[in-house]
Amino acid sequence: MCLGIPGEIVEIDGNEARAEFWDVEKTVRIDVVDEDVEVGDHILNHAGFAIRKIPEEEVEETMEIYESFLEGDEDEALEEIGASEGQQLGIEGR
């Protein structure tokens, strides 16, 4: 339903920012993003609005979860990452 594209903030001007999406740039609004953003932060753009600041470490950690899943010890990895970074990974009943 929603084409979300990750980009990196390169310039901020009030409630607008220039963000780099791989090899192109685009202006996005940053007034509904969930946290304050700075130059260098990654955001999720949807329809010209940043709707999420993507935590720096999260991309790597997601990869680690996938990797661990394939290694067969995902619960451990989830706990570890969830505990160490204080993130909610939302596992119920496990």
Per CB under 8 A, residues contacting other proteins are 1-6, 15, 21-27, 29, 31-34, 42, 44-49, 51-52, 54-55, 58-59, 61-63, 65-66, 69-70, 87-94
3-state secondary structure of 52: strand
| Contact (CB, 8 A) for 8 and 19 | yes
Q: How far is the CB of 5 from other proteins (least distance, A)?
A: 5
List, in sequence order, the alpha helices (H) in the chain.
58-71, 74-85
Q: How far is the CB of 56 from other proteins (least distance, A)?
A: 10
47 versus 83: smaller Cβ distance to other proteins: 47
User: CA nearest 56: which of 36, 68, 40?
Assistant: 40
Q: How far is the CB of 73 from other proteins (least distance, A)?
A: 13
